Amino acid sequence: MKRLAIYCGSATPADPFYLDLAREVGHTLATRGIGVVYGGGRLGLMGAIADAALAAGGEVIGVIPQALVDAEVAHRGLSELHVVTGMHQRKQMFTDLADGFVTLPGGTGTMDELWEALSWAQLGYHADPVGLLNAGGYYDAIVAFWEKMGEVGFLRAQHRDLLIVDDTLGGLLDRMGRHVPTQPIVRMAASDL
């Protein structure tokens, strides 16, 4: 994996655990030679990841909508900053620039990005690994929900492994490196759907 799209919050939670986690991710990716593609912001976990990766000599590419540039939240010290018209273009550029996706703690925007990456993998719009860093058990409920979708039948058996989960970054990156694409929906017969 040359570059990973990193999805995370732009907020700064009171618990320093989250900023420390973001800094660790940015530093680790840079020292492993993995570029960061992210939302282009300078605030919260986003800014912490970017700053840590840059400080360690890493490549950091931001993709940010013009409205957020206008709100003065863009990080101006990145390797590259792409300004786009809206969120759909932003997420498409994440997919185009990265070889995989890692989701850290975040809110509704982070969830939107995670679910779209999973949905696109399921459909066959990309075949890249989708990782969820469940540090501190933050995503326990999401992992349980993913399993519930499979149990009920809303998630096909061949797609259950699309979400790669680990509670450590090293473990997650190792598992993502072993990712084998599954049969996407667009290549399935209607009778199998």
Is 37 within 8 Å of 61 (Cβ atoms)?
Answer: yes
Whole-number pLDDT of residue 187 = 66
Mean pLDDT across the chain: 95
Cα(96)–Cα(1) distance, integer angstroms? 13
Check whether 45 has a pLDDT greater than 90.
Answer: yes
Q: Is 126 helix (H, G, I), strand (E, B) or coil?
A: coil
Distances in Å between the alpha carbon of 129 and those of 12, 81, 153, 162? Answer: 27, 24, 22, 7
Sketch the domain layout of the chain as residue ranges: 3-192
Of all residues in the chain, the percent with pLDDT exceeding 70 is 95
pLDDT digits (tens, 9 = 90+) for 69-83: 999 999 999 999 999
Buried b (16+ CB within 10 A) or exposed e, 80-98: ebebbeebeebbebbbebb
Where are the extended beta strands (E) located within the chain? 3-7, 35-38, 60-65, 80-84, 101-103, 130-133, 163-166
Check whether 188 has a pLDDT greater than 80.
Answer: no
pLDDT digits (tens, 9 = 90+) for 98-129: 999 999 999 999 999 999 999 999 999 999 99
Asked if the 3-192 domain carries CATH number 3.40.50.450, the reply is: yes
Q: Is 45 exposed, middle or buried (0-12, 13-18, 19+ CB in 10 A)?
A: buried
H-run or E-run covering 23:
helix 16-31
Cα(186)–Cα(26) distance, integer angstroms? 35
